[in-house]
């Protein structure tokens, strides 16, 4: 066995532990009774510390050194070389984080999420704590801003300074567009959400929609969760979730399309990168997860919004909804449904936001996180700051914390610096789909016919198959000849909503 193969075998065992952790997290969010939070936290803490001990062990260091010596001079662009470098980078980062801190983070997660559920209902903001993430940022290390340390876990290479530039460019385009739309907005002739849509019908419809765009239910499943998510163990075991509201049909449909978009990324990673029962040629830790969280969000946001909210999609598939809900949609047609699911209305809740206002919700949260981490604002001051930014960006003031600062689970789950990944995904989705149209002149006609396989094949070839081999900027340069750029997203939104609202 070569030194590299010895390293991959060792990391594969570490990867197995990570998958056990993910299985417990999936169960926690879908099946576990609320009373199990404390003991599940202890289980996650034990496994997290065990996995950490394995990964930052002297054995890992010896195997890394041997593999690097063996592969000196190898093709820098080869999967194996990239996986080796990424493993070295992860090892050096994880070494800086005390195992005890990781254990505390893991143990607090389930209990904090349970606290969030009750705090959200009670408007009790006092239960949220920030100190542990500041401690984590200090352990990882940074030069300019503690946010820079935390975002490396989700979006390697991104910084607070770069995000501020991106956000500035987006605001310059989004705020004027939103103002023009609000001036033209008018109620639709029929309120489609006044009816009740039975959950069993929604479940069947969500399964059908996910399968329609290519999600493989032989290698995946769809379940219910309070906060929709996707989690995968290999390309052959990918779990997605959605949630249902009998009085708001779009919630389940678009969450299912969103999470199926995540699932398509995972299911189409190259088989050679998957951890097998025997061995693997590549470091299994990097066979799932995509280039970054933002890169993963590109896939989910593209399938949810640019495909799933398009006029062409509903001209073809509205009949499926009407077949499931003939009475509720008796007075509707495809165009009305298209307008209803794309109506731009500043709202309090991020997950219900339209394409134009969604990124404003993300900027608000990110700016607050940065202020928290740098000590410019205290936890006690957050509700007031949140409400001020909501008024500034969206012209709304939440009536209570439940519909304001307490609405997201992320902070209570210990996840700081994750929110920008949604906006990065939105930006990237516009760039990648524009590139797909350039590479595939027939794509518009295929999508109008409901043929999604060609787009899926192109995305697999260009992006999905590579797993974590390339960074977000590298993937973009391989497809659209430039790094992250807001211009395609702003162009897409301008075209779509100028047509929808007759702005010109």
In a domain, 137, yes or no: no
Rounded-to-integer distance, Cα 423 and Cα 415, Å = 16
117 lies in the same domain as 170 = no
pLDDT tens by residue, 158-201: 999 999 999 999 999 999 999 999 999 999 999 999 999 999 99
Number of other CB atoms surrounding residue 126 within 10 Å = 8
In a domain, 48, yes or no: yes
Q: In this model, does residue 20 exceed pLDDT 50?
A: yes
pLDDT tens by residue, 332-377: 999 999 999 999 999 998 988 999 999 999 999 999 999 989 999 8
99 lies in the same domain as 177 = no
CATH number at residue 481: 1.10.1370.30
Q: Are 186 and 174 in contact (CB under 8 A)?
A: no
What does pLDDT average to over the chain? 90
DSSP state of 233: E
16 lies in the same domain as 116 = yes
The arithmetic mean of pLDDT across residues 413-438, rounded, is: 93
243 lies in the same domain as 172 = yes
Share of the chain above pLDDT 90, in %: 71
Q: What is the pTM of this model?
A: 0.91
376 lies in the same domain as 431 = yes
109 lies in the same domain as 174 = no
Q: Which of 1-5, 113-117, 183-187, 383-387 has the lowest mean pLDDT?
A: 113-117
In a domain, 199, yes or no: yes
Q: Are 98 and 22 in contact (CB under 8 A)?
A: no
pLDDT tens by residue, 481-503: 788 999 999 999 999 999 999 99
In a domain, 152, yes or no: no
pLDDT tens by residue, 282-296: 555 544 567 899 999
191 lies in the same domain as 270 = yes
373 lies in the same domain as 482 = yes
The separation between CA 82 and the C-alpha centre of its own chain, rounded to angstroms, equals: 24
Which residues are bridge partners to 231 per DSSP?
Answer: 239
Q: Which of 8-17, 94-103, 161-170, 383-392 has the lowest mean pLDDT?
A: 94-103
Q: Are 282 and 80 in contact (CB under 8 A)?
A: yes
Structure confidence at residue 126 (pLDDT): 42
187 lies in the same domain as 302 = yes
Rounded-to-integer distance, Cα 112 and Cα 40, Å = 12
Structure confidence at residue 296 (pLDDT): 94
Report the candidate in 271, 281, 269 with the shortest Cα–Cα distance to residue 84. 281
Rounded-to-integer distance, Cα 386 and Cα 405, Å = 6
In a domain, 62, yes or no: yes
In a domain, 134, yes or no: no
Domain that holds residue 324: 160-501
In a domain, 306, yes or no: yes
194 lies in the same domain as 283 = yes
Would residue 259 show up in a list of annotated catalytic residues for this protein? Answer: yes
What burial class does residue 429 get, using C-beta atoms within 10 Å of its C-beta: 0-12 exposed, 13-18 middle, 19+ buried? buried
* 277 confidence band (pLDDT: 50, 70, 90): very low
Catalytic residue among 259, 355, 367, 369: 259
The arithmetic mean of pLDDT across residues 214-221, rounded, is: 98
In a domain, 320, yes or no: yes
366 lies in the same domain as 247 = yes
DSSP state of 336: H
217 lies in the same domain as 98 = no
Domain count, the chain: 2
Q: What does 123-184 look like in DSSP terms, one character per residue? A: T-GGG---HHHHHHHHHH--SS-HHHHHHTTTSTT--HHHHHHHHHHHHHHHHHHHHHHHHH
């Amino acid at each position: 066995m070569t030194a590299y193969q010895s390293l991959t075998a060792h990391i594969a065992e570490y990867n197995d532990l990570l998958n056990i952790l993910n299985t417990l997290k999936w169960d926690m969010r879908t099946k576990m009774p609320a009373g199990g939070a404390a003991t599940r936290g202890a289980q996650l803490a034990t496994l997290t510390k065990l996995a950490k001990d394995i990964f930052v062990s002297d054995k890992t260091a010896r195997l890394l050194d041997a593999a690097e010596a063996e592969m000196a001079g190898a093709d820098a662009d080869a999967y194996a070389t990239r996986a080796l470098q990424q493993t070295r980078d992860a090892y050096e980062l994880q070494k800086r984080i005390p195992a005890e801190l990781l254990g505390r983070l893991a143990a607090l997660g389930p209990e904090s999420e349970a606290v969030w559920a009750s705090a959200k209902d009670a408007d009790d903001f006092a239960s949220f704590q920030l100190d542990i993430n500041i401690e984590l940022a200090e352990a990882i290390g940074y030069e300019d801003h503690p946010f820079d340390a935390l975002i490396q876990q989700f979006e390697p290479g991104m910084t607070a300074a770069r995000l501020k530039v991106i956000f500035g460019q987006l605001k310059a385009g989004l705020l004027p567009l939103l103002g023009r739309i609000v001036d033209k907005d008018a109620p639709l002739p029929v309120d489609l959400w006044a009816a009740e849509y039975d959950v069993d019908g929604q479940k069947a419809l969500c399964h059908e929609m996910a399968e329609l765009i290519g999600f493989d239910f032989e290698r995946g499943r769809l379940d219910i969760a309070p906060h929709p998510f996707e989690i995968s163990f290999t390309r052959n075991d990918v779990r997605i979730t959605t949630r249902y509201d009998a009085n708001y049909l779009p919630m389940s449909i678009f969450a299912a399309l969103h999470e199926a978009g995540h699932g398509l990324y995972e299911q189409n990673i190259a088989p050679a990168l998957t951890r097998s029962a025997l061995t693997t040629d590549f470091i299994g830790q990097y066979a799932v997860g995509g280039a970054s969280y933002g890169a993963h969000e590109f896939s989910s946001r593209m399938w949810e919004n640019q495909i799933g909210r398009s006029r062409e999609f509903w001209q073809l598939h509205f009949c499926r909804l009407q077949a499931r809900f003939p009475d509720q949609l008796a007075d509707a047609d495809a165009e009305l449904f298209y307008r209803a699911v794309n109506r731009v209305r500043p709202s309090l809740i991020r997950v219900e936001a339209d394409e134009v206002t969604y990124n404003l919700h993300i900027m608000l949260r990110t700016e607050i996180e940065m202020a928290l981490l740098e000590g410019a604002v205290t936890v006690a001051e957050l509700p007031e700051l949140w409400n001020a930014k909501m008024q500034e960006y969206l012209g709304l003031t939440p009536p209570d914390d439940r519909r304001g600062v307490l609405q997201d689970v992320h902070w209570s789950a210990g996840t700081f610096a994750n929110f920008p990944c949604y906006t990065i995904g939105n930006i990237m989705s516009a760039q990648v789909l524009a590139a797909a149209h350039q590479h595939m002149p027939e794509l518009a006609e295929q999508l109008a016919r409901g043929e999604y396989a060609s787009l899926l094949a192109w995305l697999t070839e260009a992006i999905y198959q590579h797993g974590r081999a390339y960074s977000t900027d590298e993937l973009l340069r391989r497809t659209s000849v430039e790094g992250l750029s807001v211009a395609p997203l702003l162009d897409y939104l301008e075209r779509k909503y100028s047509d929808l609202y007759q702005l010109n």
